[in-house]
Chains A and B, each alone.
Chain A
Amino acid sequence: MKNTIINRSNLVLEIRVLGGSSMKTVRYTIVILSMMLLCVSCAMFGKSKEYHGFDAKWLDRFTPGTTTAADVLEVFGAPSRMVKLSNGNAYVYERSVSKGTGIWLVLLSFGNYETQYDRVVFFFDPEDILTHYGLSMNAGDSSYGLPF
């Protein structure tokens, strides 16, 4: 049977033990070292966004074969990138979400940083008529976590 009193004001740790003391010394040593480990450890969470305001629902307004590049620009605004292709152009709209997690223990530190993207790519023919578009919405899948 044991009784533990921790007085935080002056950091005096008083332990009364009834019974053999050597095993309990080991036990309390482990407890105290674990407390030390926790006291000098810390954790970090962070999130960053590269934002571009667009919505996948807006794609319903476009019809390949009739929609023009001007129509896309009017709805989506300025693209993140424009790419010259062999038979036309592509407009790329992109945004990302990154989430970071870090843990510092006494001798070990671990970090995890994940970035995922939302992306829409519009393909136009040489007359600036929309031929295809591709959509990937994965930014919401970015997650916190440990590296293993």
Chain B
Amino acid sequence: MGFRFKVSLVFIMGVVAGIILPGCISYQFVRQLRGVEIMPPDNRLKPGRTTLGEVLSIYGAPDNLEEFGGEDLLLYERILYGNSGLSLGIPFSDFTFFNPELSARGRLGRYDTLAVFFSSDGILREMVYTKGSSYPYLKTLFEEERATDGE
């Protein structure tokens, strides 16, 4: 009889905790990914020699393109967002006006980008590659911005 009482008590406490706890404390993490992985440029891309057609056959259609100072810029981009949030609160709002809550949220966007510049005659002039997704999530999110020497 005592054992049944204990189990029933645990059951009721479990139900109550299951209803109340999600409103009290919660942690969320959401990952958003846009685009496919971008290969770093290899020796097939040679400034002054490689043509627009060759770049298109290697990397496919660019994610973005625009005219930039008399040259054409093709951008290949993959974006990785990490959203996290921690909230603490007591859900009193159904009973009182008092509803204490403390929450902290962070969002980090990391970009893998290949920027390819072409002269107006379609010859590769310059390229820049950045792999932002290699930066660690938490360290990058909490790192304070440092002013450079020039600022």
Contacts and interface: CB of A to CB of B under 8 A. Distances in A.
Asked if A pairs with B, the answer is yes
B150 interface: no
A28 B11 CA distance: 10
A132 B121 CA distance: 12
B6 to A, nearest CB: 6
A29 B13 CA distance: 10
Contacts of A15: 3-4, 7
B142 to A, nearest CB: 19
B102 to A, nearest CB: 15
A107 B25 contact: yes
Give the interface SS of chain B, mostly helix, strand, loop or mixed: mixed
A32 B22 contact: no
Given A116-B35, A147-B29, A121 B4 contact: no
Size range of the chain A interface in the assembly: 35 or more
Interface in B1-55: 3-4, 6-8, 10-11, 14-15, 17-19, 21-22, 25-36, 52-53
A106 interface: yes
A40 interface: yes
Size range of the chain B interface in the assembly: 35 or more
A90 interface: yes
A100 B6 CA distance: 41
Give the interface SS of chain A, mostly helix, strand, loop or mixed: strand
A66 interface: no
Nearest to A112: B31
Given A87-B121, A109-B28, A116 B36 contact: yes
Contacts of B26: 107-109
A60 interface: no
B21 A110 contact: no
B120 interface: yes
A90 B21 CA distance: 55
Contacts of A84: 67
A139 B35 CA distance: 9
A40 B22 contact: yes
Interface of A: 11, 13-15, 17, 21, 24-25, 28-29, 32-33, 35-37, 39-40, 64, 83-87, 90, 92, 102, 104, 106-117, 119-121, 123, 131-136, 138, 141, 147-148
30 contacts: A13-B8, A15-B7, A21-B3, A25-B3, A25-B6, A36-B18, A40-B18, A83-B66, A84-B67, A85-B66, A92-B61, A107-B25, A108-B27, A111-B31, A113-B30, A113-B31, A114-B33, A114-B34, A116-B34, A117-B63, A121-B56, A131-B52, A132-B52, A134-B59, A135-B61, A136-B36, A136-B61, A138-B36, A147-B29, A147-B82
